[in-house]
Structure 1
Amino acid sequence: MSENPWLTIVGLGEDGPEGLSPASRKALEDADVVMGAARHLSLLPDLKAETITWPVPFADGIPLLLEHRGRKTVVLASGDPFWHGAGTSLTKHLQPGEWQALPAPSTMSLAAAALGWSLESTATLGLHAAPFARLRPHLANGTRAIVTLRDGEAVPTLAAWLSEVGFGASTLHVLEALGGPRQRIRETRAETFDLDTIQHPVCVAIDAFGGPALTSVGGKDDALFDNDGQITKRPVRALTLSALAPLPGEHLWDIGGGSGSIAIEWLLAHPTTKATSVEIDPTRADRISQNASNLGADRLTVVTGAAPNALDGLPTPDAIFIGGGISEEMLQAVWAALPESARLVANAVTLEAEVLLANWQADKGGDLLRIELAQSKPLGRKRGWKSSYPIVQWSVQK
């Protein structure tokens, strides 16, 4: 990093100048320009530099900031700018050496210290500009989470959402203006939320209780996915995800999305995975998007259209799953789009599709797996086994 960066990102707590480090104080003293939210600027009333209030929406402030490139500029941010803060939103527009950061304790650290919680075992999420459903994979009896919220009005809305998804018995610790003279910490239950006049900035620490929880392995309950019967059922889904083998940062193409269960579970495997679901039926495509939103996988991209034409222009995949519409044309197009070392998994139900997969496996290699499942069903006054259609699965690494 350069010894003389023009931009300094200063983390600021609710105690204003009292909590500034010597380095942060010097950066402010030397600054020609200080940019920050109105609330941050009000905490530092004696600034000598030119002050600019950061506009809303946040993105509108980036061009204003870049106009000052080369001048000594300070941007004020809450706590640690790189812990659910504005840091990466700023630095992605800058070159190495143009900036330095001087963080203060994050909201998450202050909340954990106030409650005596261990941060390493607590989920931390920034929900000030994200849907509450991002919390869904983290909710189970005994789990804890600390989340930042947009403002005080968002807190009862969060409580209502927790009640709707079955976690109304959770304890909520509402922490306001942490680290400053206005600090206040109150406790309530989500389902009987009764707090008012909640001041900003605010975060909520959640002691979760209720259910149903999402399991942490592939093959989640079919009932979690709204569907019209077009769904890869739980046992087959578990085997399919095992074959797809998601890794952090990888991108999946889910062709013939149905209910979106494969793509959604791929995304739930790790917070950095990405996925595109391709579905020809518009009603099902809408249902996939809603399922993804409900289960905290709203980063799923849904493309309505028929493969292989709908695959044009999609990001390069690390893995491809074909769950429906297997044909020679489809396999030719998908194989051509599959990069070296990427993985392909295809499930076939019909004899015609099974023959196609057998021929391709003979030519390209990989594994063929025949999946035969049976469930116990009433048979008169007793029980018997009712078999599902067998599924042939081809999995291969190119």
Structure 2
Amino acid sequence: MDDINSPPWLTIVGIGEDGMDGLSAASHAALAAADLVMGPARHLALLGGISAPMVEWPVPFADGIARLLAHRGRPVVMLASGDPFWFGSGSSIARHLAVHEWCAHPAPSTFGLAAARLGWAIQDVACLGLHAAPLDRLRPHLAPGARALVLLRDGAAVAGLGAWLSARGFGASRLHVLESLGGPRERIRSIEAGATIPADIVHPVAVGLEVAGDGPVLTVASGRPDALFDHDGQITKAPVRALTLSALAPRPGEYLWDIGAGSGSIAIEWLLAHPTNRACAVEADPARADRARANARALGVDRLELMIGRAPDMLPDGPMPQAVFIGGGLSQALLERLEALLPPGTRLVANAVTLESEALLALWHGRRGGSLLRIELADAAPLGNRHGWRSRYPVVQWSVTL
């Protein structure tokens, strides 16, 4: 049995560009008592007067976990940037340990320092760590007047950000380039995203972004324009998608299976509904699966999971979802498989456009209840020198809580 009253053997110390001068008394005490100090080379170089052996943390980061755990029970300090639990390494370490095995002493975060320099209310600003993530994660935040604080890998990434913004119609955005915040090399410069980015930007670097431009903005409502998605016609059209997302009723932290995903539009809008939502798209056509993956990345939700195969033979084997959407491949066998597999309380929504699939949904509506909705839409279209209504294929939607 673990002794929960014993002192933690691991201390995670957040360190800034001001090195030892910026550490708290508790952090100094932990370093003085340590048998071993681990951390990236840049952080180790900021230390002075430390008698304990210092070990550089390897790259990739995951390789260092086993090395750290090999010293379990000894007083060890691990160095991390600023606040270790805000886009830092703290949570990656803590998940391998019991709560009583570690403690942490954070330093001011880069986000906090950046907000203090720019005079921004940090609670009103999007904060993103993109030093090891695609710039596309910024996409949902691109709206004129929006602000974001972004951690980037290096100066080349700042130039990449400027080009990325310009390519999307936001080249007029203002970039506040914040280098080595809190240290003796601190420097802040402002430049328009579409201008030539300086070549002498040093690491660590963050950018305060003030969005400006006339590029397309992602609305926060479901049923976003079809033009945002690359597709071959296999897409749940915007009005039906809005009704489908309403029926699926995404809630924070929930997991969706999107079966017969096509372009991935349903799963992508599910992910856009909340940053903690997850989704797995199942698609039999490899080309469509690739298209769904590209759509997810372009719209800032590259966390979309993808499986290539045909349901019910291919279904995710991880945690059970809170909601399932069937947009393609509807069959008796699939519905029977889901009925047997999914736990009570799972929300199931299926759309049908053929007479045969409509009949199947009517059968299951009689068997399991729920709501059966027929969606008939028409668009105004030229009719000679006037206009008339051009009907779309009707869609029958069955939604039920199992």
User: If the length of structure 2 is used for normalisation, what is the TM-score?
Assistant: 0.97
- Measured against aligned partners, the alpha-carbon deviations of 1:187-237 in whole angstroms (never above 9, x if no partner) come to 111111331211111111110112211111111111110001110000000
**1:339-358 paired onto structure 2 within 5 Å:** 339-358=343-362
Match of 2:253 in 1: 249
1:214 aligns with 2:208: no
Counterpart Cα distance in 2 of 1:235 and 1:330: 26
**1:97-116 paired onto structure 2 within 5 Å:** 97-116=100-119
Equivalent of 1:196 in 179, 196, 199: 199
**SS of residue in 2 equivalent to 1:43:** coil
**SS of residue in 1 equivalent to 2:155:** coil
Alpha-carbon offset, residue 114 of structure 1: 0.2
Match of 1:60 in 2: 63
Equivalent of 2:120 in 94, 99, 117: 117
**1:275-354 paired onto structure 2 within 5 Å:** 275-311=279-315, 313-354=317-358
- Structure 1 residue runs of 4+, over 4 Å off? none
**Do the aligned partners of 2:20 and 2:48 also contact (CA within 8 Å) in 1?**
no
Counterpart Cα distance in 2 of 1:45 and 1:51: 11
* Paired amino acid for 1:53: E
Match of 2:239 in 1: 235
**SS of residue in 2 equivalent to 1:75:** strand
- Measured against aligned partners, the alpha-carbon deviations of 1:297-324 in whole angstroms (never above 9, x if no partner) come to 1111111111110116243111110011
Match of 1:381 in 2: 385
Match of 1:44 in 2: 47
Counterpart Cα distance in 2 of 1:272 and 1:379: 47
- Measured against aligned partners, the alpha-carbon deviations of 1:112-167 in whole angstroms (never above 9, x if no partner) come to 00000011110001111111111111111111110111122211111111112222
* Paired amino acid for 1:205: G
Q: Do the aligned partners of residues 112 and 342 (structure 1) sit closer, same or farther apart at CA in structure 2, a change above 3 Å counting?
A: same
Counterpart Cα distance in 1 of 2:76 and 2:86: 21
Alpha-carbon offset, residue 37 of structure 1: 1.0
**Do the aligned partners of 2:174 and 2:209 also contact (CA within 8 Å) in 1?**
yes
Match of 2:151 in 1: 148
- Measured against aligned partners, the alpha-carbon deviations of 1:26-82 in whole angstroms (never above 9, x if no partner) come to 111111111111111111132111101111111111111111111110011111000
Equivalent of 2:278 in 274, 279, 288: 274
* Paired amino acid for 1:123: A
Counterpart Cα distance in 2 of 1:20 and 1:59: 26
**Do the aligned partners of 1:143 and 1:208 also contact (CA within 8 Å) in 2?**
yes
Identity, % of aligned positions: 63
**Do the aligned partners of 1:375 and 1:387 also contact (CA within 8 Å) in 2?**
yes
1:368 aligns with 2:372: yes
CA-atom RMSD in angstroms: 1.1
Counterpart Cα distance in 2 of 1:215 and 1:256: 25
Q: Do the aligned partners of residues 284 and 62 (structure 1) sit closer, same or farther apart at CA in structure 2, a change above 3 Å counting?
A: same
**1:17-32 paired onto structure 2 within 5 Å:** 17-32=20-35
- Mind listing any 5+ residue stretches in structure 1 that lack a counterpart? none
**Do the aligned partners of 2:236 and 2:265 also contact (CA within 8 Å) in 1?**
yes
Counterpart Cα distance in 2 of 1:304 and 1:339: 24
Match of 1:396 in 2: 400
**Do the aligned partners of 1:122 and 1:144 also contact (CA within 8 Å) in 2?**
yes
**SS of residue in 1 equivalent to 2:62:** helix
Alpha-carbon offset, residue 267 of structure 1: 0.7
**SS of residue in 1 equivalent to 2:194:** helix
Counterpart Cα distance in 2 of 1:330 and 1:238: 24
**Do the aligned partners of 2:175 and 2:209 also contact (CA within 8 Å) in 1?**
yes
**1:150-165 paired onto structure 2 within 5 Å:** 150-165=153-168
**SS of residue in 2 equivalent to 1:140:** coil
**Do the aligned partners of 1:2 and 1:98 also contact (CA within 8 Å) in 2?**
no
Alpha-carbon offset, residue 365 of structure 1: 0.8
* Paired amino acid for 2:87: H
Alpha-carbon offset, residue 363 of structure 1: 1.1
Counterpart Cα distance in 2 of 1:24 and 1:39: 18
**SS of residue in 2 equivalent to 1:311:** coil
Alpha-carbon offset, residue 2 of structure 1: 4.3
* Paired amino acid for 1:110: L
**Do the aligned partners of 2:307 and 2:316 also contact (CA within 8 Å) in 1?**
no
Matched residue count: 398
- Structure 1 range deviating more: 101-110 or 153-162: 153-162
